[in-house]
Structure 1
Amino acid sequence: MPHQHPSPRIWDISPPVHEGAPVFPGDTPYRQRWAAAIGPGCPVNVSEITLSPHVGAHADAPLHYDAGGDTIGTVSLVPFLGPCRVIHAIDCGPLIEWRHIEHALAELPPRVLVRTYRAMPVDRWDGQLSAYAPATIERLADLGVQLVGIDTASIDPADSKTLDSHQVIRRRGLRVLENLVLDDVAEGDYELIALPLKLTTADASPVRAILRELSFQ
């Protein structure tokens, strides 16, 4: 019989999405109702959902932070698929500074995900979330990074009105993933798969973000 290689290990880094899932204050929460139900004369269940595209793990489009920016359905998928590095900056405080991640930057792949929580609060809004310092994103862009991710709801502080890190992303042409769950992911290199939906007019898209191990043949 031919030798069967074991399947690569997969980490699901997406938080659960359901009614009550936390959203940015004022944003549209997830809601679901049944438009059709299995019964006499109806062979299927069909639901209707209402949600912000920023619920759960999601990819921001340039349109989110640039009035003339591209929608999420028109951006390249390349940054959302490929080798990435998970870096721990647990309990780093309000901002991820360069000193929090510089221990893990040798031979950096073009995607970087930073873990800041010991346990990501999937069931509540955290107004004290950690964010990226704009200078950190600038320096990552200088190293060729195409995408940055974080296990909080935003790469900017929750109360920011200027969105300085988002503006670095805009100016440098990077992509961003937010609301990832990295609790069970060790520092190291993985394959990222986190494709946004082809929402042709939207400012963001939910993603089912996963990591797949690289060390398999």
Structure 2
Amino acid sequence: MKEGNWTDITQPLKNGMANWPGDTPFRFELSSAKAENGAANIGQMTTSLHMGTHADAPYHFDDDGKRLEQLSPDLYIGNARVVDVTRVSEVGRKELESFDLDGVRRLLLKTSATNDPMTFPENYTELLPDIGPLLKEKGIFLLGIDIPSVDRVDSKELATHHSLDESGVHIIENLMLENVEPGDYEFIALPLALHGADGSPVRAVIRPLG
């Protein structure tokens, strides 16, 4: 969705949307209605913190990792480069070395996945653990993807999560990049200020530089 020069690249949170297998589904409802209490509508929601477009805190996959409130908002505001990797089924060092990433600090990967909020994908592009060291070498500290996870759905080791964390690279998952052209953008995707949390939904928006 576009508003002015900004493009919303957020997977919306709505009832009935697909969730990670076994995770808490998203549910919004009114806990109190204006028609009943005479004053205001008051909503409530239940959800996993990893529904829709969301940021992972290192605590998500490491008991000793930083929690959400320990991460700087600066990570999630600034310039970002969108790179098209739709032609490959896996993304590792070899694939990313073919792109000019000099000066990039936030990298958004546009894969071949169709990001349908109502359907959890049976398959999606695999990110290999060797991307972590490469992104560190380039000075990249944020990686955004348009798929549910940087690891495969059946992974228990979460090797790519750990590789990125060890390389100082933070993660945003489930961006909506299908209609976004490769290039450089202003980027905002602020997590909620959830103390002690392992992640948070974000509202992600971009607009072209220049």
User: What TM-score range do you get, normalising by the shorter chain?
Assistant: over 0.9
Contact 1:190 1:213 in 2 (8 A): yes
Equivalent residue of 2:121, what SS? coil
Residue 54 of structure 2 corresponds to: 58
C-alpha distance in 2 between matches for 1:51 and 1:202: 13
Aligned pairs for 1:40-189 within 5 A: 41-93=37-89, 95-117=90-112, 119-189=114-184
Q: Which string of whole-angstrom CA distances, capped at 9 and with x for unpartnered residues, describes residues 125-182 of structure 1?
A: 1131213211122201111000011100000111111111111122122210000000
Give 1:148's aligned amino acid: L
Whichever of the two has the greater Rg, that structure is 1
Identity %: 34
Equivalent residue of 2:186, what SS? strand
Q: Which string of whole-angstrom CA distances, capped at 9 and with x for unpartnered residues, describes residues 50-74 of structure 1?
A: 0001000000001001101121122
Equivalent residue for 1:20, pick from 11, 16, 20 = 16
Give 1:174's aligned amino acid: V
- The reply to whether residue 34 of structure 1 matches residue 30 of structure 2 is yes
Instruction: Tell me by how many angstroms 1:47 deviates.
Output: 1.0
Contact 1:61 1:70 in 2 (8 A): yes
C-alpha distance in 1 between matches for 2:16 and 2:36: 32
Q: TM-score, normalised by structure 1?
A: 0.90
Equivalent residue of 1:137, what SS? helix
Compare 117-126 and 166-175 and name the one that shifted more: 117-126
Superposition CA RMSD, Å? 1.7
Q: 1:47 to 1:106 in 2, by over 3 A?
A: closer
Paired residue total: 208
Q: TM-score, normalised by structure 2?
A: 0.93
Gaps of 5+ in 2: none
Structure with the higher fraction of residues in strand conformation: 2
Equivalent residue of 2:112, what SS? coil
